[in-house]
Chain A
Amino acid sequence: MNARRYGAAGTWLLAGLSGVSIGALVLLLGFLASAGLAPFWPAPIDELQMQDGRILLGEIVAAHAAGMSEAVAIRTSERERVGSAYQRVRVRDIAARSQPADAIVITLIDGRRLYGRHDAQDETALLAAAASPADALEVLQPNALGVLARCGVFFNRLAHFLATPPVASNLTGGVLPALLGTLTLVLLMSLIVMPFGTATAIYLHRRRGFAARCVRIAINQLAGVPSIVYGVIGLGLFVHGLGGGIDRLFYADRLPVPTFGGGGLLWAALTLALLTLPVVVVSVEEGLARIPGSLREGSLALGATPDEALWTLLLPAARPALLTGLILAVARAAGAVAPLMLVGVVKLAPALPVDGVFPYLHPSREFMHLGFTIYDAALASADAIRGVPRAYACAGLLVGVVIVLNLTAILLRNRLRDRYRALET
């Protein structure tokens, strides 16, 4: 019975490795959800009584457990600027540690945080001196809050994060411009990629000749091209080539200051359209191929030209496939950051790509993007203690959007399958 035994061992190995994959996936998503939402939860305020008599009041933001020199980093009142009041203290220098219920934290409009005691007159006076009441964005007494009140603060902060622009040169505050930039970019890209992708899919669906084979090979091969190469093309061909040409023709008086010849929304959208084209073509063509031939033949037999059959029958029947293609393209585009780094994404854009000034959409402007904000906040932030939670908050938002889009695509695909099964019977 040795064969049976080896077989069981092999099966267990496969099952175990599958378990590792599943576990990694669950761990990843769980970690993202918790790390992405944690920055909005009100943190407690600690009071550290040091051996030398100093009293530090603030938030414990990091703990280093490195052998004997165990230390914590605490953020105390930031009186000058954001990120100016971190202190690293050794744990053995701390005489007493408490979380006083009357400790308050004031978040100012410029992103600074001030800590104080509610009852101590001198502290309140100090707070008042450091900031006028009009500058206070949020006054909290976090140690005394119940769970329900904390939830309220949580949702308030989440809404604030989504609906306000960043402050203190993108160290803190909301992500509205990045969110708007991402949405505008993706919308513009969809407007470009959908007509061309659908036309190509129709062409591939109708023709079987040499030219169709060439198009098919090109699309299949270029689906595997690294996204950064698309970025290089976007920079060389679109920004320098097309954009430079437009500048020389129409904006020659403003040169050498580039108008379209620098990175901008339009070129980024074109680059992403090229990047997502294979997704759209493949998905639409599959949708067209799934429609039973009898439907098309029926309409042709009733006297419709192939073109009338296409507009009145095939495209409406393939609408879910079009939608699936669009959603998958949007999800892919929302996650693509590398090509954008070459064609116009910036850390801090001076103006939004959409505003109330004619022509409302400004395709030549540089823009901010959620994915790039993640990269920038995590690795290039001036205040790492704020940057990393900020990066995770953006990551949670981005992953949430992308997952919702993909789930919609999966559900649509299933509905599509049921629909054609109904058509066939």
Chain B
Amino acid sequence: MPGNPATYTSVLSADFIRACARARRRRERLVGAVVGVCTAIVLFGLLAIPLFLLLGLHPGTPLPAETWQRFEVLLAGTLRAGLCGVLVALPLGIATAMFSAHFCAPRLRAWIKPALEILEAVPTVVLGLIAAVTVAPWFKVHVASVLALIVIIPLVLLAAGMAFGEQVRNEGWLPLWLLPLLIALIALVLGVGARQPAAAMIVAASPWNAALVGLALGVATIPIVFSLSEDALFLVPRSHTDAAFALGATRWQALTTVLLPAAGSGLVAAGLLGFSRCLGETMIVLMASGNTPIGGFDPLHGLRSISAELALGMPEAAPQGDVWRGLLLAALLLLLLTLCVSALADVVRERLRRRLRTAAHAA
């Protein structure tokens, strides 16, 4: 209560204090009401999403049979793109997380984390541009080499680790030391592949295909898989790995025998959330998939996903027409698909948390 203390005392009566308290209580209630109303609006806005899709479908005649046939193709395309994406993102994201959480030098780790956060911030339309315009023509020619690299890189790394791994005592900066090896390997395989007539036998049916979409989606999803798996690995108490070290385990043994069993469900959840993200991604699929409605599961063919169908068809569809309702149904399908996958991830993650809590109680 600002003002002159002298006048203060003269006015300070019980009535005045009561009036003040009433005003304050009124303001309190007002703010509470405003916050409540805002939250209610937010909740309404969020609930409107599934409700609108359901209500938009409700009236009218059943959809024609062609719509359902088209759905099968779109669903197959969405799943194919999502699987390709997660096949790229999962090994890279989880391996990077495991390395960063368990082996990495702290100074390198302080760089990897923000760098991948920046990768997450790159708009997907930019990744789609690079994939569709720059990578696609190159990828069509080098499909065989890229497929070979996917097999050769892990094998060479394992062999090199078997041969020289014991000499390297401090593996904290190993990824950077291995970069020249990786670059040389990639250059070698691409160079040989360009000259091999046998490699020319495997050619993509179209420059825009599921494998290309998978590459771009994978790059887009690596950060989320990485940060979720790293969080899961850090949830495991330090005392567990310390106990393993005290019993004479190497770092690798501590990882496989203590860390992975404890954090495994967290890694599965990270993979599922990455998959859910891949299923709903629009711009990459729209730009790099060719948007040809081809069914089946061949990664070298083009595809058309639900999200691309929505982006291309929705602006032209007349409201309440058959096409419009078909698209609403497609949106509902996509929503359910992603919600199911991420709900599954939540269940798995909750299991991890419960298990760690009981482990902490037992300790």
Q: CB within 8 Å of B: which residues of A?
A: 1, 3-25, 28-29, 31-32, 35, 195-197, 199-200, 202-204, 206, 214-215, 218-222, 224-233, 235-237, 240, 263, 274, 277, 281, 305-308, 310, 331, 334-338, 341-342, 371-372, 374-375, 378-379, 388, 391-392, 395, 398-399, 402-403, 405-407, 410
Contacts and interface: CB of A to CB of B under 8 A. Distances in A.
B95 A222 contact: no
8 contacts: A7-B165, A11-B161, A14-B98, A17-B96, A20-B182, A222-B46, A228-B334, A406-B121
Q: Main SS of the interface on chain B?
A: helix
Q: Main SS of the interface on chain A?
A: helix
Contacts of A371: 123, 125, 283
A424 to B, nearest CB: 21
B79 interface: no
Given A9-B158, A11-B174, A402 B132 contact: no
Contacts of A331: 121
Contacts of A29: 118
Nearest to B171: A11
Interface stretch (B3-11, B23-31, B353-361): B23-31
A228 B282 contact: yes
A13 B42 contact: no
A12 B43 contact: no
Contact of B339 (A197, A225, A399): A225
Contacts of B112: 18, 22
A346 B52 CA distance: 25
> Which 5 A-B pairs rank lowest in CB-CB distance, beginning with the nearest?
A8-B165, A226-B280, A12-B161, A335-B123, A7-B252
B282 A398 contact: no
B22 to A, nearest CB: 12
A372 B99 CA distance: 37
Contacts of B157: 9, 12-13, 15-17
B253 to A, nearest CB: 6
A402 B166 CA distance: 43
Interface string B99-131: 110011000000010111111011111101110
A281 B334 CA distance: 25
Interface stretch (B236-244, B262-270, B308-316): B308-316
Interface string B265-301: 0000000010011011111001100000000000000
B32 interface: yes
A15 B103 contact: yes
B283 to A, nearest CB: 5
Contacts of B283: 337-338, 371, 375
A379 B165 CA distance: 48
Contact of A21 (B45, B92, B252): B92
Nearest to A336: B123
Contact of B174 (A15, A232, A274): A15
B362 interface: no
Contacts of A16: 153-154, 157, 175, 178, 181-182
A215 B175 contact: no
A231 B282 CA distance: 11
A237 B48 contact: yes
B92 A221 contact: no
Nearest to A338: B282
Given A28-B122, A226-B335, A375-B125, 4 more contacts: A6-B252, A14-B98, A206-B35, A229-B334
B183 interface: yes
A335 B311 contact: no
A225 B282 CA distance: 12
A235 B346 CA distance: 30
Given A19-B178, A19-B179, A403 B118 contact: yes
Given A12-B178, A20-B182, A224 B38 contact: no
Given A228-B311, A232-B53, A199 B34 contact: yes
A395 B123 CA distance: 9
A23 B182 contact: yes
A186 to B, nearest CB: 13
Nearest to B121: A406
Given A7-B250, A7-B253, A228-B311, A21 B222 contact: yes
B42 A307 contact: no
B52 A233 contact: yes
Contacts of A200: 38-39, 42
Nearest to B43: A215
Contacts of B145: none
A208 to B, nearest CB: 14
Interface in B178-218: 178-179, 181-183
A274 B4 CA distance: 49
A220 to B, nearest CB: 8
B343 interface: yes
A398 B125 CA distance: 10
A204 B277 CA distance: 26
Contacts of A14: 95, 98-99, 103
B338 interface: yes
A388 B287 CA distance: 13
B171 A15 contact: yes
Contacts of B277: 224
Contacts of B255: 10
A395 B92 CA distance: 25
Contacts of B43: 214-215, 218
Given A9-B162, A16-B153, A378-B287, A224 B133 contact: no
